Amino acid sequence: MKELFFESIDSTNTYLKDHYEELEDFTFVRADLQTAGKGRSGRKWLSNKGENLMFSLLIKDKNLIEKFRQLSVESAYLVLKTLEKYGLQDLSIKWPNDVYVKGKKICGILLEAISREKIECLIIGIGINVNQSEFNGEYLIEPTSMKRELNRQIDLIELKDILFESLSSELVSDHYDKIKKYDYLKGKTVSCEINKEIKTITVIGIDEDYSLKVIAGGKETKLQSGEISFHIQGGL
């Protein structure tokens, strides 16, 4: 495991994209400020300087690259278990890439692949709201932070150490059986944008292969993570 830290950078994901060839497997890049932080679907990731945990992890190991379909959910699970250690309750994973507390977003994950003929490496970008109390941007899902939920300041470095250790040692294992009980979308009827088309689906749950099993148009089908965005009916 290797760690790099920047006080300010455009985006830790972009840094790894530009430098992956000269960096070793399991390099973590963390920053206090991102001037062009990236979220999913071309959105921005906004975060106050020095208040939150923002980092990206470089994966070059062939065996882990093969598991790319499950890495968002597995990373979300390891974040969730770390947050649980701090006493946060009512945590869930919103397939495939968010961690929620009481239905509010506390963590977002952006998984990117660099491919030529095959996938060369994966970049797992993770943003956790830690000590930020006010969120003034426009958000699809209401954000929250550890500080807001726990009413106390969190030591960022301690949190970083716990999570980096967990990702380094546990990302190689499958936790599917444990993940099932944290499935936020399970049983919900949601409208979902698939390939630019809005569809109403009922979610059966995260499947063993880490796809999302749903009923769409009266038929059972599986969604793969990719460019799928959800709008929970009833106001989110």
Interface residues with ligand BTN (CB under 6 A) are: 11-13, 34, 37-40, 43, 45, 54-56, 98, 108-110, 125-127
Output 55 or 210, the one with its CB closest to ligand BTN.
55
Distance CA 73, CA 223 (A): 14
Residue nearest to ligand BTN (CB): 108
Output 147 or 221, the one with its CB closest to ligand BTN.
147
> Measured from the CB of residue 12, what is the shortest distance to ligand BTN in angstroms?
4
Output 43 or 186, the one with its CB closest to ligand BTN.
43
Contact in structure between 215 and 202 (CB atoms under 8 Å): yes
Output 56 or 70, the one with its CB closest to ligand BTN.
56
* Kind and range of the H or E run holding 179: helix 176-179
> Measured from the CB of residue 6, what is the shortest distance to ligand BTN in angstroms?
11
Output 34 or 225, the one with its CB closest to ligand BTN.
34
> Measured from the CB of residue 34, what is the shortest distance to ligand BTN in angstroms?
5
Of 234, 41, 48, residue with least CA distance to 133:
48
Question: Could you tell me which residues are beta bridge partners of residue 68?
Answer: none
- Residue 151 makes CB contacts below 8 A (sequence gap 6+) with none
Question: Could you tell me which residues are beta bridge partners of residue 5?
Answer: 30
Question: How many Cα atoms within 13 Å fall on the side-chain side of residue 28?
Answer: 19
Dihedrals phi, psi of 80, to nearest 5 degrees: -55, -45
> Measured from the CB of residue 29, what is the shortest distance to ligand BTN in angstroms?
9
Q: How far is CA 233 from the centre of its chain?
A: 22
> Measured from the CB of residue 151, what is the shortest distance to ligand BTN in angstroms?
24
Output 165 or 227, the one with its CB closest to ligand BTN.
227
> Measured from the CB of residue 53, what is the shortest distance to ligand BTN in angstroms?
8
Of 207, 160, 184, 214, residue with least CA distance to 99:
184
